[in-house]
Amino acid sequence: MRLGYHRRRVAWFGAGLSQSKRFAAQERLPQAELARIRRQRLDRLLDHAREHSAFYRERFPPGPVALERIPVLEKAEMMERFDDLVTDPGLRRDRLLEWIDTRRRDEFFEDRYRVMTTSGSSGRKGLFVYDRAGWAAIGGQFLRGSAWMGLRPAIPRRRLAMLGGASLTHMSSQGAATLRVGVHKVLGLAATLPVDEQVAALNRFQPQFLNAYPSVVLRLAEEQEAGRLRLSLTAMSTSSELRTPDMTERIAAAFGVVPFDFYATTEGLFGYECERHDGIHLFDTASVVENVDEDGRPVPPGTPGTRVLVTNLHNLVQPIVRLAVSDVLTLHPEPCACGRSLVRAAAIEGRRDDALSLPARGGGTVTVLPAQFSVITRDRAVREFQVRQEPGGLRVLVVPCAGAGPDLEQRIGAAVGQAMDDLGADAPVLVERRDELARRGGKLQIVVARPPEG
Ligand SMILES: [Zn+2]
């Protein structure tokens, strides 16, 4: 049985590799040509959804339909109507959730599906199923983005270290399992492992390529600078957490390479920085990306949206049409100097749940995004931090670097206080020193909003 698993994994990897070549051929095409490819795929997706999904049959009539006329799909609704939404009647939500909870190792569901869940900061679980073609588009985006970073399959094989720690049901674990077919040498380490154990394992493995959350890389940068970690990297990548320009600078100074940032969603939308490091190119040939405001109206480039509506053009088994993803994107108004015509996000803020709504001086509220706390990462004595919204204001938890002076709390408090003041927010700031911060799935939540009352 395990033999079947390995063969399937190799075959699925091959499908991803072929898809990555198609994405490569598309990435510099003129906009009109990209729009044509997108429309063709969209028509195929909508036809398939209407024919095989009771849920989508209710949502749009037969014949050509403008995407903007189809109602926005909320994650809660997708979960409630999951059994009607999928196009294979053998896929039942409760059974899948039960199946995935009892896995002890990487496996395919009924030998033909990858199944994963998302937790979501709001605690609402999401369930996603991919068949081979749908997963090939995920692998294709990953492989294409990796090629931009200089990580291509090679002989001798490249040594790749990935610090994650997410559960088996998380997309990153299944992505790593897909990758572990012998193309690269892969070392997987838990981000939650004590730092001296991470350092020892990395020194032994000597990766050429490192991928981790920014806060984890920042901690390793300190070890590298102190001479305890001795890595000679050709490239590295970060994702999923806030990375401010100051953090990038500290990481680049320690390792001698500028980290590539990337964006990955379980819904199927991926994006990577190119060699210009000037925003993240989203694979908008694999998904339709709609950046919208609170009322679902399109937001022009240069303006932050409220959420992103994702339509996955390759997942026919669980059609995702205009699914609302709570990320705050600002699209770049100008084309990138690299010549790629894929849409570029100038900024991607953390999940919307991490944006704070603070009382404004003189009434009303002010929205504060995670990046606005970059005043904290600018301080070289800060290793990592977390901002927690509390009834009386903000509590900032700070883990200091070795040798941080006694005035750290006062300095951070003044800097954050000034930043909030500049934004017009009325929020007293309290700073506390900690030895470590709690992580979820290895990931550090930088900003924790207070749940709305009632
Ligand atoms: Zn570019």
Question: Going by C-beta distance under 8 Å and a sequence separation of 6 or more, which residues neighbour residue 225?
Answer: 253, 254
Please tell me the distance between residue 330's alpha carbon and the centre of ligand 1 in angstroms: 16
> What is the structure's pLDDT at 261?
92
H/E stretch holding 218 reads helix 214-226
Tell me how far apart the alpha carbons of residues 176 and 253 are, in angstroms, rounded to a whole number. 28
**Please, what sign has the CA dihedral across residues 121, 245, 290, 28?**
negative
CA-based angle 449:450:452, to the nearest 5?
115
Query: Is-contact 433 408, C-beta < 8 A?
Result: yes
Q: Which helix (H) or strand (E) holds 99?
A: helix 93-101
66 Cβ contact list (under 8 Å, min separation 6): none
Question: What tokens were used for 43?
Answer: 């028509």
Q: How far is the CA of 279 from the centre of ligand 1 (A)?
A: 7
Q: Which helix (H) or strand (E) holds 359?
A: strand 356-359
pTM over 0.95: no
Distance (Å) from CA 264 to ligand 1 centroid: 17
Distance 304 CA to ligand 1 centre (A): 20
Instruction: Compute the distance from residue 332 Cα to the ligand 1 centre, in Å.
Output: 11
Reference 143, options 294, 322, 272, 244; nearest CA is 272
Q: Which two tokens stand for residue 116?
A: 């994963």
Task: Say how far apart CA 3 and CA 139 lie, in whole Å.
Answer: 21
* CA pseudo-torsion sign 282, 288, 293, 298: positive
Q: Is 2 in contact with 106 (CB distance < 8 Å)?
A: no
How many A from CA of 258 to the centre of ligand 1? Answer: 15
Both tokens assigned to 343: 């849409």
Output the CA 7–ligand 1 centroid distance in Å: 36
Ligand 1 centroid to 281 CA: how many Å? Answer: 7
- What distance in angstroms lies between residue 273's CA and the mean position of ligand 1's atoms? 7
pLDDT value of residue 34: 95
Q: How far is the CA of 454 from the centre of ligand 1 (A)?
A: 45
- The reported pLDDT for the residue numbered 454 is 42
Tell me, in angstroms, the distance from the centre of ligand 1 to residue 239's CA: 17
Joined tokens for residue 148: 């931009």
Q: Tell me which residue of 61, 59, 66, 110 sits closest to 84, measured CA to CA.
A: 59
Residue-by-residue DSSP string for 176-234 = HHHHTTTTSEEEEEETTS-HHHHHHHHHHH--SEEEE-HHHHHHHHHHHHHTSS----S
Helix (H) or strand (E) holding 129: strand 126-130
CA dihedral angle for residue 101, residue 189, residue 16, residue 30, rounded to 10 degrees: 110
Distance 356 CA to ligand 1 centre (A): 31
Phi/psi at 143 (5° precision): -70, -40
Distance between CA atoms of residues 132 and 152, nearest Å: 22
Distance (angstroms) between ligand 1 centre and the Cα of 294 equals: 29
CA of 339 from ligand 1 middle (Å) equals 6
Bridge partners, residue 359, by sequence: 365
Report whether 117 contacts 126 (CB < 8 A).
Answer: yes
CA 272 / ligand 1 centre spacing (Å)? 9
Burial class (CB in 10 A: 0-12, 13-18, 19+), 348: buried
Distance in angstroms (rounded) separating the CA atoms of residues 361 and 420: 10
CA 276 to centroid of ligand 1, rounded, Å: 6
Residue whose pair of structure tokens reads 């301080």 in the numeric block: 379
What is the full per-residue pLDDT of the chain (454 aa) written as tens digits?
577 888 998 899 999 999 999 999 999 999 999 999 999 999 999 999 999 999 999 999 888 889 999 999 999 899 999 999 999 999 999 999 999 888 888 899 999 999 998 865 445 688 999 999 999 999 999 999 999 998 888 888 899 999 876 566 777 777 777 777 778 888 888 888 889 999 999 999 999 999 998 888 999 999 999 999 999 999 999 987 778 888 899 999 999 999 999 998 899 999 999 999 999 999 999 999 999 998 999 999 999 898 999 999 999 999 999 999 988 899 999 999 999 999 999 878 766 557 788 999 888 888 887 878 888 888 888 888 999 999 889 999 999 988 889 999 999 999 999 999 998 999 999 999 999 888 776 778 888 887 765 4
For residue 163, the surrounding DSSP H or E stretch is strand 159-164
Prior bond of 156 cis (ω within 30°): yes
Q: Which phi-psi region, left, alpha or beta, contains residue 165 (left: φ > 0; alpha: ψ -120 to 50)?
A: left
Output the pLDDT for position 175: 78
Q: Is 321 in contact with 56 (CB distance < 8 Å)? A: yes
d(CA 428, CA 448): 16
Q: Which two tokens stand for residue 9?
A: 């994994």
Task: Output the CA 414–ligand 1 centroid distance in Å.
Answer: 37
